[in-house]
């Protein structure tokens, strides 16, 4: 069902990303699936690096956040046995590499949150935290972690 929705939205998921350190990408505890920090990899690389708004615009950073969601869904599909196993996206924490005076962190994450709603409907609605940081792994502009409830 969700795979059909992805096709309808012309969204294809990448291969699940592999950890860049000593950790697991996902851990299931009862009916909760916790994802480690997910980066906006495209074909194994971070293509856009820097801080908002110095090197990247809000719109560019938002595209990176959307890619991060796709990477997260690929991890969920692999570890949960399919996207239809998602009962609810519970929470997202988004970290945005930003200048000290940047205050529009939620604007970077809004398109990613909206994409989850488009894919999952009400099951895609979630709590969220948006935090500005001075740097992120590999120079990424965005890193996100997720908690999903599974059926």
Sorted by where each begins, the domain ranges of the chain are: 2-11+32-150
pLDDT in tens, 4-56: 999 999 999 999 988 888 999 999 999 999 999 999 999 999 999 999 999 99
Burial of 116 (0-12, 13-18, 19+ CB in 10 A): buried
**Element at 133 (helix H, strand E):** strand 127-133
Q: Superfamily for 2-11+32-150?
A: RutC-like (3.30.1330.40)
- Does the global pTM surpass 0.95? yes
SS3 2: helix
What are the start-end ranges of the H helices in the chain?
Answer: 2-8, 58-80, 105-120
Q: How confident is residue 141, by pLDDT bands cut at 50, 70 and 90?
A: very high
């Amino acid at each position: 069902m969700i795979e059909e929705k992805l096709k309808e939205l012309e969204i294809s998921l990448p291969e699940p990303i592999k950890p860049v350190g000593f950790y697991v990408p996902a851990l299931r505890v009862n009916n909760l699936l916790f994802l480690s920090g997910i980066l906006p990899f495209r074909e194994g690389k971070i293509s856009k690096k820097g801080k908002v708004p110095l090197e990247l615009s809000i719109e560019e950073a938002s595209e990176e956040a959307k890619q991060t969601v796709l990477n997260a869904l690929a991890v969920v599909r692999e570890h949960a046995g399919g996207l239809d196993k998602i009962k609810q996206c519970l929470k997202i924490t988004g970290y945005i590499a930003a200048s000290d005076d940047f205050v529009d962190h939620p604007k970077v994450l809004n398109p990613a949150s909206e994409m989850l709603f488009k894919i999952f409907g009400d099951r895609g609605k979630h709590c969220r935290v948006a935090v500005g940081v001075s740097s992120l792994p590999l120079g990424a502009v965005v890193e996100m972690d997720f908690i999903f409830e599974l059926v």
